[in-house]
Chain A
Amino acid sequence: MFDVIEPALFAMLTIAIVAAGAGVVLANRITTSALLMAFTFLSVAGMFLLLGAETVAMFQVLIYVGAITVLILYGVMFTPQSPRLYGLFFQTQKWWAALFVIPIAAFVAAAAFAFRDSATIGAKGGDLMPLATSVFRDYAFPFEVASVLLLAAMVGAIVLVKRDED
């Protein structure tokens, strides 16, 4: 019975991700885009669950749906709303966009269909320990460098904003 459910879930999630992703770009109102983006993130989390990576799925929802989307909505609400006065970048330059997107899409599709070995994603259940050891032991130094970089970016953003007030 579960042989049917997993491909069905996969199909539903795939359609949801692609459709909501297209909606993010095509929607006229930026709030709709933000909400559809949250939906895309949720569907991607579902994809991680199907792959047996529960921890990654949880962090996906915790950080992207719970924090990033709310932050974007927060920003949107403080921005003046004027739909259609400014076209979004992709909506006014369709042909240029297509020119750049089609080669990339072809490359991604080719790469995606090159993966045929489904046995490599069989590690179900308990991705917490491997994730923790790889982040905090094997790759501890790059991880710390990245966090210092983020801290520097944050301090820089605060300094940039504060300078206007003086």
Chain B
Amino acid sequence: MPVGPFGIDPAIWAPLRLIIAVLLVVGLVFNGALAQIYLERKIQAIIQDRLGPLHVGPWGLLQTFADAIKLLGKEDIRARLTDKWFFLAAPSIVFSPMIASYVVIPFAPGIVGADLNVGLLYLTTLGSMTVLGIVIAGWASNNKYSLIGGLRSAGQLISYEVPQILSLVTVVVVVGTLSMVGIAESQPGWQMNFLVLPLAFVTYFIAGLAETNRAPFDLPEAESELVAGFLTEYSGMRWAIFFLAEYGEITVVSSIVTTLWFGAWHGPFVEVFPVLGVLWFTLKTYFFVLVFMWIRATLPRLRIDQLMSLCWKVLIPLTLTNLMVTAILVLAFPTTLVPVAIANWLLLGVFVFALPYFQRRRLVALRERLRTAA
């Protein structure tokens, strides 16, 4: 009889491993969302000079648990004129691709659901599936605010998928593999991809903010104009599932950033204790989760036309240029990445400094024209 890990028959171990992995991921998503909601409220409170949750448990730590229990206990309300099956299906259509994303995320050496050789493609594919759920949620609610939210989401996500995928492809061109484990292994020690491809990181992060419907791109659920966008008609646990999916997506995007640009599990002492990789990976991932929250507390929401022009007029040309330059340099200098790094840092400088300069000049010209017209 063949013996697998822990002395268990492989025929039993394979399904058992699957069950353990699914339970772990569900636990990770649920607890992660609770922790992230707490973090989000505390960080916003600190930035806005408030105290935030304080009374339930020590430092208000149990506030989100209380909220979760409240949401579980709420009545499952469905307005009569909603489209029944679509309305009921939408939260799961948003939620399940997010759960499935965790299959390929490399937490530590050997701790990964499946090392797909198209791992990165798989993640972008699942990211694109959430749009369908949001559009259906907006449509099925039979509510104009919901519909506008859903349509905004569709336009936004389809547009921002382009710079997102182009940024990922830039990394793939340099690393030469689509497997998440392969990408993680390609950056040992301090040789993180961020040092080579900072611009791809910045463009991906911006597109990731749009992909997860986070501020400053949270137009689909803009409270000040659309009530709650596609969430308007949802309440109780169905509403909560949308939020679990949102926080899960934030974790997925942060994990992708960590894996592609910041060396995944690599950190001190990982060679000695491989399990320590989980700690480094979680710390790095949560750093980016914190950046997400920091951005939400600092930046105002974009207008829809600003959102679209940022994507089509700035990000897509920039990522295309970046991809072309990187591909040419990788082919021209197969042995060293220094030229790629120089080109990328230069392009990042162009993005960070030249863009506001041209924007300001356009604004000045616009004001001038308005003044002469008046």
CB-CB under 8 A for A58 and B125, given A1-B11, A70-B131? yes
A160 to B161, CA, bound (A): 26
Main secondary structure on chain A at its contact with chain B?
helix
Check B147 for interface membership: any CB of A closer than 8 A: yes
Check B178 for interface membership: any CB of A closer than 8 A: yes
CB-based contact A73/B128 at 8 Å: no
Query: Can you list, as one digit per residue, whether each of A59-84 has a CB less than 8 Å from chain B (1) or not (0)?
Result: 10110011101110110010000000
Question: With a CB–CB cut-off of 8 A, which chain A residues contact B206?
Answer: none
Within 8 A of A (CB), among B94-132: 116-118, 121-122, 124-125, 128-129, 131-132
User: Taking CB as reference atom, which chain B residue is nearest A55?
Assistant: B118
With an 8 Å Cβ cutoff, the count of chain B residues facing the other chain is: 25
A76 to B320, CA, bound (A): 32
Partner of B139, one of A55, A67, A77: A77
User: Taking CB as reference atom, which chain B residue is nearest A71?
Assistant: B158
CB-based contact A69/B132 at 8 Å: yes
A83 to B292, CA, bound (A): 44
CB-CB under 8 A for A74 and B135, given A66-B125, A126-B117, A128-B118? yes
CB-based contact B136/A73 at 8 Å: yes
Partner of B132, one of A54, A58, A70: A70
**B320: min CB distance to chain A, Å:** 14
User: Taking CB as reference atom, which chain B residue is nearest A65?
Assistant: B129
**A55: min CB distance to chain B, Å:** 5
CB-based contact A65/B128 at 8 Å: yes
Question: With a CB–CB cut-off of 8 A, which chain A residues contact B116?
Answer: 54
CB-based contact A73/B154 at 8 Å: yes
**A135: min CB distance to chain B, Å:** 14
**A92: min CB distance to chain B, Å:** 25
Check A38 for interface membership: any CB of B closer than 8 A: yes
CB-based contact B131/A54 at 8 Å: no
Check B151 for interface membership: any CB of A closer than 8 A: yes
Question: With a CB–CB cut-off of 8 A, which chain A residues contact B132?
Answer: 38, 65-66, 69-70, 73
**A64: min CB distance to chain B, Å:** 10
Question: With a CB–CB cut-off of 8 A, which chain B residues contact A35?
Answer: 86, 136
**A99: min CB distance to chain B, Å:** 34
Check A14 for interface membership: any CB of B closer than 8 A: no
CB-CB under 8 A for A67 and B121, given A35-B86, A74-B151? no
Partner of A67, one of B86, B128, B151: B128
CB-based contact B135/A62 at 8 Å: no
Partner of B158, one of A38, A67, A126: A67
User: Taking CB as reference atom, which chain B residue is nearest A69?
Assistant: B132
CB-CB under 8 A for A61 and B117, given A1-B11, A74-B151? no
Question: With a CB–CB cut-off of 8 A, which chain A residues contact B161?
Answer: 66-67
CB-based contact A58/B118 at 8 Å: yes
Question: With a CB–CB cut-off of 8 A, which chain B residues contact A74?
Answer: 135, 151, 154-155
User: Taking CB as reference atom, which chain A residue is nearest B121?
Assistant: A58
Question: With a CB–CB cut-off of 8 A, which chain A residues contact B150?
Answer: 77
CB-based contact A128/B158 at 8 Å: no
Question: With a CB–CB cut-off of 8 A, which chain B residues contact A7?
Answer: none
A61 to B83, CA, bound (A): 25
A35 to B129, CA, bound (A): 12
Question: With a CB–CB cut-off of 8 A, which chain A residues contact B124?
Answer: 62
Question: With a CB–CB cut-off of 8 A, which chain A residues contact B158?
Answer: 66-67, 70-71
A74 to B150, CA, bound (A): 9
Question: With a CB–CB cut-off of 8 A, which chain B residues contact A31?
Answer: 83, 86, 139
Question: With a CB–CB cut-off of 8 A, which chain A residues contact B125?
Answer: 58-59, 61-62, 66
**B139: min CB distance to chain A, Å:** 6
Question: With a CB–CB cut-off of 8 A, which chain A residues contact B129?
Answer: 61, 65-66
Question: With a CB–CB cut-off of 8 A, which chain A residues contact B155?
Answer: 74
A71 to B124, CA, bound (A): 18
A128 to B124, CA, bound (A): 16
**A34: min CB distance to chain B, Å:** 9
A55 to B124, CA, bound (A): 12
A96 to B272, CA, bound (A): 73
3 nearest interchain CB pairs? A66-B128, A62-B125, A58-B121
A–B complex contacts, Cβ < 8 Å, 22 sampled: A31-B86, A35-B136, A54-B117, A55-B118, A59-B121, A59-B125, A61-B125, A61-B128, A61-B129, A62-B124, A66-B128, A66-B131, A66-B158, A67-B128, A69-B132, A70-B131, A70-B132, A70-B135, A73-B132, A73-B154, A77-B139, A128-B178
Question: Which B residues form the contact surface with A (CB < 8 A)?
Answer: 11, 83, 86, 116-118, 121-122, 124-125, 128-129, 131-132, 135-136, 139, 147, 150-151, 154-155, 158, 161, 178
